[in-house]
Amino acid sequence: MKIAVLADIHANLEALEAVLADLESMTVDRVVCLGDLVGYGPDPEAVVARIMELGVVALLGNHEAALISKRDRNWLNFQAKDNNIATEALLSEASLRYCNSLPRAAVIEGALFVHGYPPDSVLKYLFMQSDDEIFRMLAQQPETRIFVGHTHDLKLITVCGDEIAWQSLPIGCLQLQAERRYLINAGSVGQPRDGTSKAKYVIWDSTKDFLEVRAIAYPASLTAEKIIARGFPQAYGTRLL
């Protein structure tokens, strides 16, 4: 099975549509969204409606959790908290119900999918965990392929025996090794933080255990203009460019 893994769309409709157009030529069997459909971006209602229409597997992100829980909203910084309140006002009742229904994790084809950190955290950041903590976590998890988002940064953590290696996940193809365990950070469709403006996502072929990282150009300047027109912080737009 080929699974497209999309993370952190963040209400960026232009980036999402560019990725969906790219997927038309990739013949994937399933699409999994690792949460944060909303937040920062100008089109939360359109993005959630599109994801609902596609019927993909979508998970809870911290920005969806903040719509549901005031406690989780308080975990956001002050700008993101204000943005979450503004985002809530832009969402229909149907979209809010959908966000409220999202599961915290999913296991598909023997791999674990979660927004933040295994087994089901929407708040923990991968880069804040020590090597010892990752070893302990992996010892408790039956899955040897784990996909996360949340940091917006493509990253691959490989564990083989007692050795652990962190590396940036480059655009292109990578053959995974059966005897190794992997934590795969899928980057971000709508808010990449790797210094480039392209929308990032990954495709995992579970049969061949093969990973492909895709980077898709889209009109980021249009999204940035819409962010400013919404009255959202200018930084949310300029960091797309």
Amino acid at 31: V
DSSP character at residue 161: T
Is the pLDDT score of 206 beyond 90?
Answer: yes
The pTM of the full predicted model, rounded to 2 decimals, is 0.96
- In angstroms, the CA 61 to CA 123 distance is 8
Is the pLDDT score of 70 beyond 90?
Answer: no
pLDDT category at 88 given cuts 50, 70, 90 is very high
> Across residues 126-148, what is the average pLDDT?
94
Domain count along the chain: 1
Is the pLDDT score of 139 beyond 90?
Answer: no
pLDDT, position 174: 97
Q: Which domain holds residue 89?
A: 2-238
Tokens of 181: 């365990």
CATH number of the domain to which 221 belongs: 3.60.21.10
Q: Could you tell me where the DSSP H helices lie in the chain?
A: 13-23, 44-54, 62-68, 70-73, 78-90, 93-101, 131-140, 220-229, 234-238
- In angstroms, the CA 190 to CA 114 distance is 18
Q: Please count the other Cβ atoms lying within 10 Å of the Cβ belonging to residue 212.
A: 16
Task: Tell me the per-residue pLDDT of 100-130, one tens digit each, with 9 for 90 and over.
Answer: 999 999 999 999 999 999 999 999 999 999 9
